[in-house]
């Protein structure tokens, strides 16, 4: 196997602080070994916000990297409940999810807000993981690319307007109909979408020097094997299956 994949584990609000620490303590040695496997480019864990610091300490002798699940679109100020990108950087977050469909659906996150958050993250040298994806209805109506264009336009216009050079962006195709549903998109669906995304970034925003395209949505240790046929795929965003360590381990070790 010649490819090196990025794995992002999104633990959402599934584990409490104590459960997160327990998971990491229990599986520390194995996570260390898995993160060092030659086909794993990066293993990024996105735990619940209050646990990021503690997980970072627990994983300090490993190559596991830490990500947040969200950040504020503001730098600092009277924004009760918000967490700034600066604070995330200070506690050692290297990555941060932005625009996850659950944030869009339950918290009204817009493309413009996601673009502002990415600005904040880039100012702090945190690599954004932008999530994009269409609803089932949009998928059935052939609107996938239109939806993705809208997700990407706000971001690329912003970067162009600022004349900013961006070292790296992770972009995860996460069809809403596949996230947490048990319905995984097939390679025939994913491949043209990733091709479209790569072409979009190249054409619309060459200021982004490296775009890493991920797929996420109901991945598990069985269906991940089918994904290696996808040329444009650089990695995976795993929700539910990453909470079950045995499943996650299988995905990381012999899934590919």
Residues that bind ligand PGA (CB under 6 A): 10, 174, 179-180, 216-219, 237-241
Closest to ligand PGA by CB, 102 vs 205, is 102
Nearest Cα neighbor of 224 from 209, 206, 210, 239 is 239
Closest to ligand PGA by CB, 65 vs 205, is 65
Closest to ligand PGA by CB, 145 vs 223, is 223
DSSP state letter for 223 = G
Closest to ligand PGA by CB, 11 vs 200, is 11
Q: Which residue of the set 109, 120, 134, 174 is catalytic?
A: 174
Closest to ligand PGA by CB, 68 vs 205, is 68
**Active site annotation includes 174:** yes
For the record, the structure tokens of 161 come out as 């307007």
**H or E segment to which residue 169 belongs:** strand 166-173
- CA dist., res. 236 & res. 52, Å (int): 20
User: Which residue is it, tokens 């229990």?
Assistant: 26
Q: Which DSSP string corresponds to 57-116?
A: HHTTTS--EEEES---SSSSSS-TT---HHHHHHTT--EEEES-HHHHHHH---HHHHHH
Shortest Cβ 114–ligand PGA spacing (Å): 15
Shortest Cβ 164–ligand PGA spacing (Å): 26
Shortest Cβ 97–ligand PGA spacing (Å): 8
Beta bridge partners of 172: 131, 214
Shortest Cβ 9–ligand PGA spacing (Å): 9
Q: Which residue, judged by CB position, is nearest to ligand PGA in the bound state?
A: 239
**Active site annotation includes 100:** yes
- CA dist., res. 89 & res. 95, Å (int): 9
For the record, the structure tokens of 22 come out as 């327990």
Beta bridge partners of 132: 173
Shortest Cβ 161–ligand PGA spacing (Å): 29
Indicate which residues carry an active-site annotation: 100, 174
């Amino acid at each position: 196997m010649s490819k090196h994949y990025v794995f992002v584990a999104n633990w959402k609000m599934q584990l409490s602080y104590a459960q997160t620490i327990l998971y990491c303590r229990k599986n520390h040695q194995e996570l260390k070994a898995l993160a060092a496997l030659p086909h794993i480019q990066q293993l990024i864990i996105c735990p619940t916000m209050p646990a990021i610091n503690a997980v970072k300490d627990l994983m300090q002798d490993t190559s596991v990297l830490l990500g947040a699940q969200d950040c504020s679109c503001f730098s600092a100020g009277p924004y009760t409940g918000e967490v700034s990108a600066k604070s995330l950087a200070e506690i050692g977050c290297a990555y941060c999810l932005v625009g996850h469909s659950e944030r869009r659906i339950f918290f009204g996150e817009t493309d413009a807000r996601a673009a502002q958050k990415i600005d904040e993250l880039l100012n702090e040298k945190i690599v954004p993981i932008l999530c994009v994806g269409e609803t089932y209805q949009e998928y059935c109506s052939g609107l996938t690319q239109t939806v993705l264009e809208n997700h990407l336009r706000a971001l690329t216009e912003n970067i162009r307007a600022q004349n900013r050079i961006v070292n790296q962006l992770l972009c995860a195709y996460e069809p809403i109909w596949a996230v947490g549903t048990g319905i995984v998109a097939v390679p025939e669906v994913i491949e043209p979408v990733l091709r479209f995304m790569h072409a979009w970034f190249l054409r619309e925003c060459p200021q982004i020097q490296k775009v890493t395209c991920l797929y996420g949505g109901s991945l598990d240790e069985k269906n991940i094997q089918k994904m290696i046929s996808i040329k444009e795929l650089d990695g995976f965003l795993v929700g539910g299956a990453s909470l079950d360590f045995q499943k996650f381990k299988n995905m990381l070790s012999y899934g590919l």
